[in-house]
Chains A and B, each alone.
Chain A
Amino acid sequence: MTGGYGGADILHDCTIGVEQGEIAVIVGPNGAGKSTAMKAVFGMLSIHQGTVQLDGEDITRLNPQDRVARGMGFVPQSQNVFTSMTVEENLEMGAFIRRDDISDTMNQVFDLFPILKEKRRQPAGELSGGQRQQVAVGRALMTQPKVLMLDEPTAGVSPIVMDELFDRIIEVARSGIAILMVEQNARQALNIADKGYVLVQGRNRYTDTGAALLDNPEVRKAFLGG
């Protein structure tokens, strides 16, 4: 993919892929185009070259809404819940495009995030940061996506909550959903990643399994602080 905002390209021939049941993590220094890559995959900005494929189908020309309908879920980094609506309503809104019975999916989400079941009647705006992220992920899961994309899901939450969130993300992946996420906490993220992409200035610098990247001395030195 090559693309960017307006005139200047931020991404240059960058390749990212993730398989069913896998977790792929994009890491890299600030301004490397991590979030931009994510937006490009989701169709929130135009790409000039290259394609985006889902299940072998070319979806490059679809707008984000249609991509959601095709099985992509996206959790934005911030403002990712409806603060004035209850947890349950947030999940309902996540399933807005579905016309069938959503109660099973909602129960699955509640099984995954038990705290949400407890707080289902509370406005999402009153929850703690970690709980909100759970609502946000839960909302995206309501469409039963094939790929779930997370933009820095652990931004602004405490380390304990972060570990818990990662555990949950692993569980989501186990259920057969492909996960693509951008992470600031590179070390922890690569720990759980099946695949890691290190992006620098919009280009793929290193691509390997998460464990291999963690062992790679160059990556450690440059991006993981030794």
Chain B
Amino acid sequence: MIKNFDTRAVLLFAAMFAALATVGFAQSWPLALAIVNLCLISAIMSLGVNIQWGYAGLFNVGVMGFAALGGVAGVLVSVPPVTEAWQAGGSGIGVSLMLAIGTIIVVILAARHVPPGNTRRLVLAAIIVAGIFLIRAFFDPAVELIEAVEPAKTGYLGGLGLPIVLSWVVGGILAAGVAWIIGKIALGLRSDYLAIATLGISEIIVAMLKNEDWLTRGVKNVSGLPRPVPYEVNLQQSIWFQDWAETLGVGVVEFSSIYVKLCYAGLFTIVLLIVLWLSQRSLNSPWGRMMRAIRDNEVAASAMGKNITGRHLQVFILGSAVVGIAGAMLTTLDGQFTPASYQPLRFTFIIWVMVIVGGSGNNWGAVLGGFVIWFCWIEAEPVGLWLMDVLTSGMDEGNGLRKHLLNSAAHMRLMTMGFILLLVLRFSPRGLIPEK
């Protein structure tokens, strides 16, 4: 039985790579590799969601937020610090940070010492409002100063100037921290609440990244992030590379693009394999068995004295951290951080489709789902466009409906994803590679 499943998985993966190779031959190899790189990142995100959903049945609708946290880590770690900005507003930001911590401490103390009731509510509200105004008294001028430092080029604090690969770890940690807070609040209540809370936090995280220009440059984006791999231009100018390209009989420009993408693919594959290996280990460990026992029968597990909320918190944090890592990797690959690109449909719901289609609870399934769905997502647009073109070919060139349909073809993708999710959920809820 198990052997059957394995053959099935192997066949499916083989088919997937064949499809990618087809793109390579039919369209171009750089394109195929670009798809592969995003497939790898998708697969990691999908593994993270699978840890939450597949292992424990937690419904996280805020994948986008955790991915965005990973993305901002890319900026905060890799960009060199903007010294003038630090000089201008660093101290103000520092003071407001201290004040924020102070306010929280005072609130906690007040909550402990003032007897409950309306007085306490009033006192707490007053402390919070006063705290906010006090913080803003330092924060606002500092922000203004920072954002005034060469706004066209910087206008933000910059980062630490460390290798960007480090941000993958930092992104994971940031995401884990936020997941801890959300989990503390929403776990242990019914499943809808976690879904709504994660939806909310992800919207807020993205709103912050868009608006806190002093930290992230907001919608002005941070581009030109340092790379962990060589630059195409440098490669094209090196003699050894030109020779190599010549030996292989490929154009230097194309080969440099392929080479760089392969470097990324190598790095991402390493991360994917590590995450996958750890996921598999944990799934088959006593801990993983306990998680699945809890998922399948909470009442019984609770009766056996298992701390369900505590376990769920662990899983939620781990899964979110993996998503954060993938988010940082994505920013690394893009070489830029664009807060406006974080769309819930692209970053939350597609990942869900990946997990469900791949096979909830099966790590290999999640990986395959990441590949398959990303591939479909990319290829759906040209196919949709082509489809619309064929469908409307009978119409006049200037026909309004034809124009409208051609323009709207892009939105077909959303519908397609929705249909795939609904169809799989109904007709094959165990996915492509079912859980054993």
Query: A and B: direct contact (Cβ < 8 Å)?
Result: no
Interface residues of B (CB under 8 A from A): none
